[in-house]
Structure 1
């Protein structure tokens, strides 16, 4: 959103404060629907009042206070009996809750609530992306490659199940943390991916989401420092985010990994990520559990970020790591990414053959067609490449990616 300073402040505050406001209301009232609705009411109030009254000195505090009042108003309208009315009025108490478990951050409390084992994994991820990440239903649907109506129904059912099963918003116990960790990591990674390459909106990168995911990753690592997958996920995000400054050029076009100016990479994040990858490797060597998905992805990114140039990348090692990842997760997207590495190691023809093996499962996924287009171009099959670029362009809304694909299509000489 662009426009006046007030409009920009509202947009920025939504990105920075949405999760805090929703999580604070969830802690106070114990009702996810009420928390989300009251938070939305507060932003409507901001849109109406800030242009007239000015931006408050503490926008986040203003929104939290406004949302709390709106929540209490909703309760008072809904609760008819005097006893319940009085109980509702007591909810304005601002005294801090006594800590009863290992997670002390409101947003992480909400994260673990949304990732309750009673919910299907996809429902946990979708609900948390909405309540914690602040993503729209459309953005979440694109992340899952499903229709927006399907995702809206999934989120509604997840909240209804939490309410029907009386799943509390509370500080999780050690047992709860372990049981819900896989869903939490999936949530954090999807939030990071939406920031890494936005699927919706006018901004190609959403640093706010990437930063939030990394913040969650650091908190989880502090909570569970000996968990290899937690360490691996944090390493993966740091090594990927280190390339942020080089990913879009001054003209707003996406810059692929092989073309990026590596001097613009964040050396401090790369060092930190490599230290974490080494921790994972040492833990496995000491007899720990075999590396999981996030540790393998982090190791792949470590190979990329330790190479001084694209041509110096050890593609053989990358393929080997992808082989191990496919053994754990033989999904079409993982196999597509492996095919890209195969093309770099063994040639475009072999890579294209492996891409085509998963094409039927990813027909609506723009990256499939972008990958096919590049390999077809390298093989001199420009008519087919042009058609693949057209299909990829039709399936992505990211402006930087559109600019890149359009240029590559225009560069075809046929």
Structure 2
């Protein structure tokens, strides 16, 4: 994988921040966009901007072909069995909310259990809290091991005959933990439960085969995988989606409207009310083309190499605490003794290095870690070993700076 050539496709990386070359280590929050994606979105607006599915004119046909073509690219990327199982959404958050509000509110009742983990992003906690309040269901949490992993034995001990939904992140956005979602799904199915997989942090970085995982629902966002913001996908098994009611109503998702009743279109359109995110879907299709040309196996191997190298380098910085398992996805969350993570991020920014600081929309996990906030460096296909070295140098400078301040 020629990272130098890949970097040439990302215009934003070729700049200075605070007089230093940009080192972008915040791809877990949002990734940068290659020229192929930028040009695809630009081409849609410049050449065939039109609504989809409605007009018979040429621009409308071009837009519809591009939109539905992107759906087929997503189907192939996820190895889903049908495009009817691919719903375009505004992102992972919307997709999970859709499942919680439609499937959850319909299929849950008092005494049922929704099983989560403490490592979940708020977007995979709050919708289930609301579903539980609306239906009388209960939330249960699979305990975490000391290194922030989930043991299959704890999963077995947590699931019961009352478990109806298991919602879990494929990859933790804080710990980098890669959860055994295939095995968890198997256990959930043995109890008659369905699984909802938050794939926001896995889909950009590794091959995902929803049929092999056998998950019932899978959600991800385009903007974390070199695509546009405001665009995402919900995959759902066809027989489940067919039984679910839409959560947004209006144009495009209807079959027939009378004064007092209406009927819905077939899948996937019954879940895509209103003018859909056409440019976002086009951009996501271009992002998938870009990633598949490089190869997801190569991307995963590159990020694994970066994470291993970063772990070794950062462990050499005295006073640095690193959270999560040794074997992890391409991100490292850490704290520096006596220095608030916001201050760490500010000093690094002065060196042109962009990292994330805060609770990362994972306050229950922060409580489990016994911290209020952390800093996080996250890697993607365009990052280099040299940038890891700059991060380490920046951390040493941060430590020295605050050592002098408080001396």
With the shorter chain as reference, the TM-score category is under 0.3
Query: Which has the larger strand fraction?
Result: 2
Query: Which has the larger helix fraction?
Result: 1
**TM-score with structure 1 length normalisation?**
0.24
> Of the two structures, which has the highest relative contact order with CA contacts closer than 8 Å and spacing of 6 or more?
2
Larger radius of gyration: 1
**TM-score with structure 2 length normalisation?**
0.24
